[in-house]
Chains A and B, each alone.
Chain A
Amino acid sequence: MSSSTHEDRPEWLAHFFETPEQQFEAGKLGMWLFLVTEVLFFSGLFCAYAYYRSHHPEMFVDAHFFLSTKMGAINTVVLILSSFTMATAVRNAQMENRTWLIRNLVITLVCAFGFLVIKAMEYTHKFHSGLFWGRSYAPNEVALEEYNTAIVAAGREPLANLSQLPDLHQFFSIYYCMTGLHGIHVVLGIVAIGLLLRRAIRGDFNRHYFTAVDGVGLYWHLVDLIWIFLFPLMYLIH
């Protein structure tokens, strides 16, 4: 095999790769493998969810009275939009359209932040109601009121007092774990997209080299996809 001389190598081609194609293919395969590990990582929680839902189906039905389907739906739309802008950004990088690459990355970031803001609102609302995880689960009068409002709307009799509220601590444990872990991945995605933005502004990407944009894009799509599974499993149980 002939050696590659140092002079005619583009600066973005790492010294241990023979050709740009090799580098790109390696990067892509690496990112797909990483996504497989992420799916397996979340799968443990999905297994736990399945196990508990099959053992306590009523708990999951009761719990959904505490979740705002509207907020969840907005978040779903926000993330899908961000996936669209991210995918477009990859195309922009490939077509060397730096302006739109930057714009789309920014919109993706805004959506991601928006998602987190809505999530934060949901979480604080639950904290006010005393709806914590596991041992800390301690619903208060606020929770009782909210629950009664919801069940009356569904045609049932309201509960007389707090002690009649069903014990949902396991549901909330799984809820916080799954949405929390997902949220952490959103934050990590924000960091990654932020770094991409910096490189985009610097002009690092061109039609031969946009691997990083492609890779982060794939990651972001997975984050979105996981939410698309989480949303019905948590919010749309009847």
Chain B
Amino acid sequence: MDTHHNDHGSDHGDGSNYLNATSGIWSWMFTIDHKRIGVMYTFGTIGAMMLGGLFALLVRLNLWVPDGVFDNNTYNQFFTLHGAVMVFLFVIPGIPGALGNFVLPLMLGAKDVAFPKINLLSLWLWAIGALFFVAVLVTGGIDTGWTFYTPYSVTNDSSMVFAVLGAFILGFSSIFTGLNFIVTVHRMRPKGMGWFNMPLFVWGIYSTAVIQVLATPVLGITLLMLAVEKMAGLGIFDPSLGGDAVLFQHFFWFYSHPAVYIMILPAMAIISELMATFSRKKVFGYTLVAYSSIAIAAFGFLVWGHHMFTSGQSAWAGLVFSTLTFSISIPSAIKVFNWLSTMYKGSVRLDTPMWYALAFLWMFTIGGLTGMFLGTMGTDVHLHDTYFVVSHFHYVMVGSIMFAFFGGLHYWWPKMFGKMYNEFMGKLGAVLIFLGFNVTFFPQFVMGSRGMPRRYANYLPEFQELHQVSTVGAFILGIGVAVGVWTLFSSIFLGKKAPDNPWGGTSMEWETATPPIEHNFHDTPSVKPVYDFSPLVYNEATGNWDRIAEESGDNHG
């Protein structure tokens, strides 16, 4: 074999792949194929993102005028549902469920994850959790904020219990996914792929999985106690029953802070892949980037009190939390500088995924740096619970995580569905999203420090101008997201057939057929040095990056 693509995983010659090997709704609902599960997560979490986005637009619409467009209670429900749907149904499960599931086994040359049936269970639990949130919508809604602070959440009249139980179920979905990925990475790597020969995507997903397994159970018990407090008056979080309202905050943030690392680490994992492939170069400082993922996961458990500097917790506890919070900035900075250095003397291709990756670098820099203002105790006193915080976390959750998700989707979509999307539309979506996002959220930093509190249905007239700018931005962002999603979805039906390796990636998923056969590989590809771009040559005629055979010959088994 010379310059043709490997047929480690070429189809059986009959055009069958994981998408069409079996048909009918039951074959999807009861599948144990990680690729099908990944596809279902993709559509499910994108759906949740659109629903959460709809609530966001309603929130911003209300804020067009100081007196609000909707009544206060309705507004309060909009921001609560926006947060809860986005956090629990989209950001936490999204990248691991959709891309982690699809890509991880392929990258390891494996035929599936370690526990495919548990993987299916994770998906079902996600769906059931989603149904609980639908139940919340139709039974009166919740207005507590996604953070469910007590005693308000246990003394008001709302569908809180549905929401809490829904989040509880979603927590188990997350735990099982994490458990699956840890075992897969430990036990299903091919011989010859040591830890430091794995793609950085695997390191990122693995670090995420560790947090999922260790942190989420604590959320689980917190939510359970919250539900029992509401239903039976447990007396643990409600001061009128002898409980302690701030104790809830400790329990809640003990999970929810590591949760934000569950959200960002997979996004960083994607960025590593994109920076390497589109610079045609191994990620600079590979080993340190790998260790940084672990460091971020570990330190993430120690900083939860930085959400509580004004809660009445002691100043000394605050000092410890602030100190540890700064410790996370170092590995994060290391990653950004290493990604940047990857471009140095590289061969930078600006396809759509790379646009998202570069946008990520910029947005994450802002998101991360604005975190410093909040980790610093003195400035946090003024900025806590203001629009400054809202803007900070949107720069990370949307500007970084959502951008990375879109980058990853645009990168792996051809592999998943065998079709190329329209490149112009892909870039158009990226531009609209970038523009819309910044117009929405940059003004919010200024609003916050000037005195605009968060979760406010009405506001002082002096903030109207900035609110209106922000609202216009939100609608542009919405259009951009619609364009991006449309670009991807429509390619399934209208796109050109994709070659096996349209981007020239070096990891094993690019050595299978596009879309992959049901069992991924006939023969596991040989393990090569990670991020070695030298054997890949672009073929103008086919649009494929061909792998030139090594001297020692490809292993066809």
Contacts and interface: CB of A to CB of B under 8 A. Distances in A.
B232 A136 contact: yes
B222 A44 contact: yes
A15 B113 CA distance: 11
B523 A134 contact: no
Nearest to B192: A1
B183 A26 contact: yes
B326 interface: no
Contacts of B215: 40
Contacts of A40: 214-215, 217-218
A208 B118 CA distance: 23
Interface in B315-358: none
Across the A-B interface, the 3 shortest Cβ-Cβ residue pairs: A135-B233, A44-B221, A134-B233
Interface string A174-198: 1001000100000000000000000
A37 B175 contact: yes
Interface in B101-139: 105, 109-116, 118
B228 A177 contact: yes
A1 B218 CA distance: 41
B523 A2 contact: yes
Interface string A1-35: 11100000000001111000010011001100110
B308 interface: no
B12 interface: no
Contacts of B217: 37-38, 40-41, 43-44
Contact of B188 (A26, A37, A136): A26
Given A48-B225, A134-B233, A134-B234, A30 B179 contact: yes
Contacts of B523: 1-3
B232 A134 contact: yes
A14 B111 CA distance: 10
Contacts of B507: none
B228 A15 contact: no
Contact of A173 (B186, B224, B236, B519): B236
Interface string A119-153: 00000000000000111100000000000000000
Contacts of B190: 1
A36 B182 CA distance: 13
Interface string B232-263: 11111000011110010001000000000000
A33 B178 CA distance: 10
B200 interface: no
B234 A37 contact: no
13 contacts: A1-B109, A1-B557, A3-B523, A15-B112, A17-B188, A26-B187, A30-B180, A36-B214, A40-B218, A43-B218, A44-B222, A52-B236, A135-B235
Nearest to B175: A37
B109 A29 contact: no
Nearest to B113: A16
B524 interface: yes
Contact of A33 (B213, B247, B251, B555): B213
Contacts of B186: 26, 29
Contacts of B114: 26, 30
B52 to A, nearest CB: 27
A16 B187 contact: no
B173 interface: no
Contacts of A170: 235-236, 241-243
A45 interface: yes
A45 B229 CA distance: 13
B522 A33 contact: no
Nearest to A29: B183
Interface residues of B, number: 51
Contacts of A181: 224
A84 interface: no
Nearest to B527: A1
A34 B228 CA distance: 24
Nearest to A171: B235
B109 A133 contact: no
Given A30-B115, A40-B218, A44-B221, A133 B557 contact: no
A42 B222 CA distance: 10
A41 B221 contact: yes
B247 A51 contact: yes
B220 interface: yes
A221 interface: no
A98 interface: no
Given A1-B524, A33-B183, A43-B218, A133 B191 contact: no
B241 A135 contact: yes
B216 interface: yes
A177 B242 contact: no
Given A136-B232, A169-B242, A45 B221 contact: yes
Nearest to A170: B235
B214 A15 contact: no
Given A44-B222, A134-B228, 15 more contacts: A1-B190, A3-B557, A26-B114, A29-B183, A36-B214, A41-B220, A43-B218, A51-B244, A52-B236, A133-B232, A133-B234, A134-B234, A135-B241, A170-B241, A173-B235
A16 B251 contact: no
Contacts of A22: 187-188
A170 B236 CA distance: 7
Contacts of B113: 16
A58 to B, nearest CB: 13
A136 B251 CA distance: 25
Contact of A169 (B116, B235, B251): B235
Nearest to B178: A33
Contacts of B243: 170
Nearest to A30: B183
A16 B110 contact: yes
Nearest to B118: A30
Contacts of A26: 114-115, 183, 186-188
Chain B CB within 10 A, most for which of A14, A29, A34, A134: A134
A50 to B, nearest CB: 11
Given A40-B214, A133-B234, A177 B191 contact: no
A16 B242 contact: no
Interface string B75-117: 0000000000000000000000000000001000111111110
A29 B233 contact: no
A51 B215 CA distance: 20
Contact of B522 (A3, A37, A133): A3
A91 B407 CA distance: 51
B239 to A, nearest CB: 12
